[in-house]
Amino acid sequence: MLHPSIFPFLEELRENNNRDWFKANKHKHDAARAHVVQFTQALFERLSDENQLDHQKVFRVYRDVRFSKNKTPYKSHFGIGFHRIKPQFRGGYYLHLEPGKSFFGAGFWGPNKDDLLRVRKEIEMDPESFEKMATAKELTQTWGAMKGDQLKTAPKGFDKEHPGIKNLRFKQYIFTKEIPDALLYDKNFGQWMVDHFNAIRPFLDYMGEVLTSDLNGESIL
């Protein structure tokens, strides 16, 4: 369960997002972050073996404002990444903790050019298998439909009339699920996370197999 001091701190930070306030209240941030780290470690220990997790990371509170119109210096949330063992296991998980806006996400946020092409080639060759994995009953009942930025038309070099064009246009392969605040304080939240990890693991494993093999299905590791 989430420590009860974390969201009140984040609400204070959201209302006082400036360096002077943060400097005077950094002890509150440090205490809240320590609770988040403890919370994250407990989840990691429960989930790591079955989901081939390598490590977890609580992201820093400081924002990079160099290229942003929003110049507030601090994030009003805690972000947590769960990373799989590479190179054989691909994809990742992200837990976002913010009052009224928490969510859990999994998938492929920013596949590089080569990975994106490899996935599209797989869809081109076998659109039915990708569609079957991305729309599996347990996955969609637990997470909802796959999301992600998409092209308006077919990627360069692919037929816009291809039967898998819906999936060929994706540039990301993401599933997200909102988390009500009350659930984070519920004793069953750990099981909720287990259920969501279990539901998406077959899709991530399928994608991992694609990304670690050539078009003939031979391993490239």
The pair of structure tokens assigned to 163 is 């039967």
Give 30: exposed, middle or buried? Use CB within 10 Å, 0-12, 13-18, 19+: exposed
Q: Is 33 helix (H, G, I), strand (E, B) or coil?
A: helix
For residue 1, being part of any structural domain is answered with no
- Residue pair 39/30 in contact (Cβ under 8 Å)? The answer is no
3-state class (DSSP) for residue 181 = helix
CA dihedral (28, 29, 31, 32) positive or negative? positive
pTM as predicted: 0.94
Confidence (pLDDT) at 68: 87
Is beta strand 53-58 parallel, antiparallel or unpaired with respect to 78-84? antiparallel
Domain-located, residue 220: no
113 lies in a domain? yes
pLDDT the model gives residue 10: 98
Which residue has 């002890």 as its token pair? 27
Chain center to CA of 88: 18
- What is the domain-level CATH number for residue 61? 3.30.930
Tell whether 148 is covered by a domain. yes
For residue 62, being part of any structural domain is answered with yes
The per-residue pLDDT for 1 is 86
Six-digit token string for 23:
């400097």
Give me the DSSP letters along 61-92.
SB---TT-S---SB-SSEEEEEEEPTTTS--E
Residue 90 structural domain: 6-211
For residue 128, is it within any domain? Answer: yes
What is the domain count for the chain?
1
Distance CA 98, CA 93 (A): 16
Whether 56 maps to a domain, the answer reads yes
How far is Cα of residue 98 from the mean position of the Cα atoms in its chain? 15
| Residue 218 counted as domain residue | no
pLDDT in tens, the chain (221 residues): 899 999 999 999 999 999 999 999 999 999 999 999 999 999 999 999 899 999 999 999 999 988 888 899 999 999 999 999 999 999 999 999 999 999 999 999 999 999 999 999 999 999 999 999 999 999 999 999 999 999 999 999 999 999 999 999 999 999 999 999 999 999 999 999 999 999 999 999 999 999 999 999 999 99
